[in-house]
Every structure is written in C-alpha cells, then in structure tokens.
Amino acid sequence: MTARVLVVDDLEPNVKLLEARLRAEYFEVLTALSGQEAIDIAVEQQPDIILLDVMMPGLDGFQTCEMLKAHDDTWHIPVVMVTALDQQADRVAGLQAGADDFLTKPVQDIALFARVKSLTRFKQMTDELRHRHAAGAAMGVLSKADLAGGDEEQATILAVTDRGRVAALDQGSEHLPKHMNVVYEEDARMALEAIRRGEPDLVFIDLGMESYDPLRLCSAIRAFDNSRLAPLLAIAEQEQTRQLIRALDLGVSDYIMAPVDAQELAARVRTQVRRMRSIEKLRASFDQTMELAIIDQLTGLYNRRFLANQGSRLIEEAKASGDDLHCLMIDIDHFKLVNDTYGHEAGDDVLKEVSSRLTHSVRGSDLACRTGGEEFAVLMPRTPRASAKEIADRVLSAVSAEGVHLADGQRLDVTVSIGMASLSEGDSLASILKKADEALYRSKENGRNQITEVAA
Ligand code: GH3
Ligand code: MG
C-alpha cells in the first residue's frame, strides 16, 4: 500500500530524515517547514496523511491541526502529531486538537509505518464512502459531522491472552469511558467465534500467547468478511518486533509495546473505536442518502431518477446481448376524480395500494418505478413478448380484481390503463418509454382498463 505523506517540521534535518525513511518504503513525500505552509500544501495537494511536529515557531502543531480539521478541504485528512517522548500532556492536547494519532520522537520505523499504513487504510475506506456518497446523491451533501467522531461510548473489548490478566489493560480501562468494558478470553478458538459473530468492538491480541499462534489468529480474523474491519490491537514485548511486523502485515490496526502505558493504551483504544464508529456511521448515512435519492417516499417504488440511470443500463445490456426487453407504462384511470371526491389523502392511499399490487405482480428482476403523479413504468429485461403480456395482464387484474379500502372503510373500484412496447434496435430509454406512453394513450382512448401493445 502506498500513500502521499506530508511531513511538517520546522527543522529541515528532521524533515529530511523522515522523508528518506518514507521514500525507502515507497511512500510519496511532500514537505513543509511551517504550519501555514502545511495548510497551503494540504489544501492544494490533498495528501493522504499528515505527520505534524508539535513544537514549531509561528503556528504550532496543535493550532495547525485545529485549522486543518476546520478547513473544508482538509478536515478529512488524517493527522499524526509527532511529540517529544514523555510529553504525555502533548498527546492529550493533540487528540483534543483533532489529531488522529501520535508518534513519539525519536520516531521508530515500526511505529511510523504502523501508524501511516493503518491511517492510510482508514482514509481509503472513508474516501471510497465519501465518493460513493457524492456520486450517488446530488442531494444530501456529507457533512463533517458524519465523519468526525463516531460515538465512542458503549464498546466491548475482548482481550485474547492465556497469560492471565494484563495489568496495564486493567489500568488502562480506568482511563476509558465508563461504558467500555474489557472481557478476557483464554481460548483463541472461542475468541475467534465471538469475533466472527461481531460481538467485540475491539480485540486485543497478546503476541506472547503460547496456547495458540497469535499470528494465525490475526489472519483468521482478517479472513472473514464479518471481522475484516474489526479493530485489532496487538500487545508486544520489546523482543517481539519480528512477530509485530508480521502482525502489522496481516492487518493488525495498531499495537502497544510492553511495558504498556495505561494512558496511551486508553487513547489508542478510543481512537480505534472512534474510527470504526465513524465508518459505520458513514455507511449508514450513505445507505440512507442512497435510499432517499432513489426511492419514491410515498410508494416505496424506485423514482424517476433511478429509472433514468438504471433503465439506460438495462437497455444497453439488452442491446448488447440481444435479449428481449419489454416496457410497460401504467396510469391510474380517472384518478383526479378520486382526489376530488374523497380527498388527497384517500388519493395517496390509492397510490400506495396500486403500487403495492404492482410490486407483487412483477418479478424481482423487473424494474418498477413511479415516474410521476399517478403514472408508473416497468422495465422487464430478458422477457419475451408472451411473458411481458402475461405480466401486464396480471397487473391489470391485480388492480381491478378487488376494490381499494380507504381509511374510512369505503371500498373504491380502481382500474389502470397500460401501454406495452418492446425494445427494437434503434431504441433508447427515452424512445421505448415514449412508445409505451403512446400505447397507453390508445388504451385511454379506447375506454381505459386495458392493455395496448406496440410491436417492435
Ligand atoms: P386519466 O384516466 O385520463 O388518466 O385521468 P386522470 O384523472 O387519472 O388524469 P389526470 O392527469 O387528469 O389527473 C391526475 C391527477 O393525479 C391530478 C393530480 O392532482 C393527481 N396527483 C398527482 N400526484 C398525486 C399524489 O402524489 N397524490 C395524490 N393524492 N394525487 C396526485
Ligand atoms: Mg390518470
């Protein structure tokens, strides 16, 4: 995995040093010697991740971080604060300024690449979701709030270790929000099952475990869809750097070195949980936006926009494969009379009921849409004429067979008129809809409650 990293430090030798190490691992590197320069470059060049020194003249690292996180063009770029060793207060201030992670000087390779890779993975995931969001919805612009800070309360942490309780973990949990509780599991197989069931929100893996290969556990967790994204934190002893590097290659999200600093542990747990929650939030908000963008809210059918996109695709596919495709245009008869006689609400109820009967009359592979007030279109891919006619008959009788019950108990007879057209060579979505529409008007002229076909 590669990424574009912006290195920010007022001391040029520091910049050069990090730059060389990142380049050696095939990262692309941008550099800045001040906070302001960092902001300008970030806005213009959109790096994937920013390594930001804390102690700088002018804008210091915290101020720079705050400004990056407040700027519309840079708020989504992960920031790693580079702090002097033993500056515990700096770490807390960094996280408060909105930093996504921190590294302590002198920066060790393993820590550097672990943080950079993990944040790059996170950014790729959120970028993908942000792009889908933007593409899928002209409405519903994604706000900063959708990404920033998922809810980090209420998390279950599973610690997999066969060496008894980890003192630092117990101490660390004192620094965690109240609703994060740590559960221990000695049996790696049991742990794996719980993880695959999606039970823990975060997993600690003790790399010193003896009853089961901890690396095998990491890869087994990552091999399953359900647990592919679960935050995994490795706990490693100083002499376990080789295993740790393997674990990071296998997709461990982060690690903590023994002797574990309880506050650091708490900060890392919170960061991981927050990241996971923000991805979940982004997904949910994406699904919701998509649904609003493509579903007609009154009837639950697809809307005109979806027909325009998806319909064109179906037409192109049918033309490429040579399969039959048929189109129905359906319009409720004398619908204005329903509104005028029984009121708009009764009209809405009729629309919902007709839509529901339509949905039940067509097949899952057919695309049924509400194209306008009381007008519907159905595209039926891979459907020969005889089957299309059968489906049109089914729609006609499903609507007329039984009256629609209004909220006040009255029963209303409702019928529809239908136009049917088949796809011919030169057709586009617009032209097949037009043909079906013309056929529909013939059904209206000829007395309604009937189907008119136009041949290809
Ligand atoms: P025809 O048989 O020729 O189709 O006659 P019609 O009365 O169905 O057609 P017309 O186009 O004259 O009237 C359609 C009516 O549908 C007019 C409009 O007020 C009503 N309408 C459109 N959208 C909605 C809606 O969402 N809810 C309700 N209740 N009525 C709607
Ligand atoms: Mg009508």
- Whether residue 96 is found in the same domain as residue 129: no
Compute the Cα dihedral for 449, 445, 339, 369 and give only its sign: positive
Domain count, the chain: 3
- Whether residue 414 is found in the same domain as residue 319: yes
Q: At what angle do helices 214-222 and 241-249 cross, to 10 degrees?
A: 10
Q: What is the pLDDT of residues 24-47, one digit of tens each?
A: 989 999 999 999 999 999 999 999
Statement: residue 138 has pLDDT above 50: no
Range with the poorest average pLDDT among 2-6, 81-85, 159-163, 320-324: 81-85
Domain-ending residue, one of 287, 315, 340: 287
Q: How far is CA 348 from the centre of its chain?
A: 33
Give the mean pLDDT of 343-369: 95
Range with the poorest average pLDDT among 59-73, 168-182, 185-199, 390-404: 168-182
Please indicate, yes or no, if residue 448 is contained in any of the structural domains: yes
pLDDT value at position 56? 92
Please indicate, yes or no, if residue 296 is contained in any of the structural domains: no
Statement: residue 382 has pLDDT above 50: yes
β-strands 49-53, 79-84 pairing? parallel
Nearest protein Cα to ligand 1, atom 22 = 373
Give the mean pLDDT of 109-134: 81
Mean pLDDT over all residues of the chain? 88
- Per-residue pLDDT band at 141 (split at 50, 70, 90): very low
- Per-residue pLDDT band at 134 (split at 50, 70, 90): low
- Whether residue 355 is found in the same domain as residue 318: yes
Choose which residue among 304, 339, 449 to substitute to test ligand 1 binding: the one with the highest number of ligand atoms within 8 A of its C-beta: 339
Give the mean pLDDT of 420-444: 96
pLDDT value at position 84? 78
Domain CATH for 56: 3.40.50.2300
Give the mean pLDDT of 172-192: 83
Range with the poorest average pLDDT among 18-22, 148-152, 283-287, 444-448: 148-152
- Whether residue 318 is found in the same domain as residue 421: yes
Statement: residue 142 has pLDDT above 50: no
- Whether residue 133 is found in the same domain as residue 172: yes
Residue 280 bears catalytic tag: no
Statement: residue 371 has pLDDT above 90: yes
Greater model confidence, 456 or 189:
189
Query: HEC profile for 351-390?
Result: HHHHHHHHHHHCCCCCEEEEEECCEEEEEEECCCHHHHHH
Give the mean pLDDT of 165-174: 73
Domain-ending residue, one of 55, 80, 107: 107
pLDDT value at position 143? 46
Q: How far is CA 107 from the centre of its chain?
A: 33
Pocket of ligand 1 (CB under 6 A): 298, 331-336, 339, 344, 347-348, 351, 373-374, 444, 448
- At 265, the amino acid letter reads L
Give the mean pLDDT of 314-342: 96
Give the mean pLDDT of 421-447: 96
- Per-residue pLDDT band at 137 (split at 50, 70, 90): very low
Q: Cα(71)–Cα(335) distance, rounded to whole angstroms?
A: 52
pLDDT value at position 127? 80
- Whether residue 202 is found in the same domain as residue 278: yes
Domain-ending residue, one of 287, 317, 338: 287
Give the mean pLDDT of 402-406: 93
Nearest protein Cα to ligand 1, atom 21 = 373
Q: What residue numbers bound the domain in which 344 lies?
A: 304-454
| Contact by Cβ (8 Å): 30, 47 | yes
- Whether residue 144 is found in the same domain as residue 230: yes
Atom of ligand 1 nearest to the CA of 345: 29
The model's pTM: 0.61
Greater model confidence, 141 or 252:
252
Q: What is the pLDDT of residues 212-245, one digit of tens each?
A: 999 999 999 988 887 888 899 999 988 888 899 8
pLDDT value at position 147? 46
Q: How far is CA 219 from the centre of its chain?
A: 24
Statement: residue 1 has pLDDT above 70: no
Nearest protein Cα to ligand 1, atom 13 = 336
pLDDT value at position 139? 42
Comparing C-alpha atoms, which of 227, 184, 224 is closest to residue 206? 184
Range with the poorest average pLDDT among 255-264, 380-389, 429-438: 255-264
Statement: residue 88 has pLDDT above 90: no
- Whether residue 21 is found in the same domain as residue 71: yes
pLDDT value at position 293? 80
Give the mean pLDDT of 266-275: 82
- Grouping H, G, I as helix, E, B as strand and the rest as coil, residue 272 is helix
Q: What is the pLDDT of residues 41-60, one digit of tens each?
A: 999 999 999 999 999 999 99
Distance of CA 350 from the midpoint of ligand 1 (Å): 11
- Whether residue 308 is found in the same domain as residue 450: yes
- Whether residue 250 is found in the same domain as residue 316: no
- Segments of 207-311 assigned E as strands: 232-236, 254-257
Nearest protein Cα to ligand 1, atom 24 = 373
| Contact by Cβ (8 Å): 51, 22 | no
- Whether residue 31 is found in the same domain as residue 95: yes
Please indicate, yes or no, if residue 148 is contained in any of the structural domains: yes
pLDDT value at position 124? 83
Choose which residue among 304, 335, 354, 370 to substitute to test ligand 1 binding: the one with the highest number of ligand atoms within 8 A of its C-beta: 335
| Contact by Cβ (8 Å): 415, 393 | no
Comparing C-alpha atoms, which of 283, 371, 376, 299 is closest to residue 332? 376
Nearest-ligand number for the alpha carbon of 441: 1
pLDDT value at position 415? 97
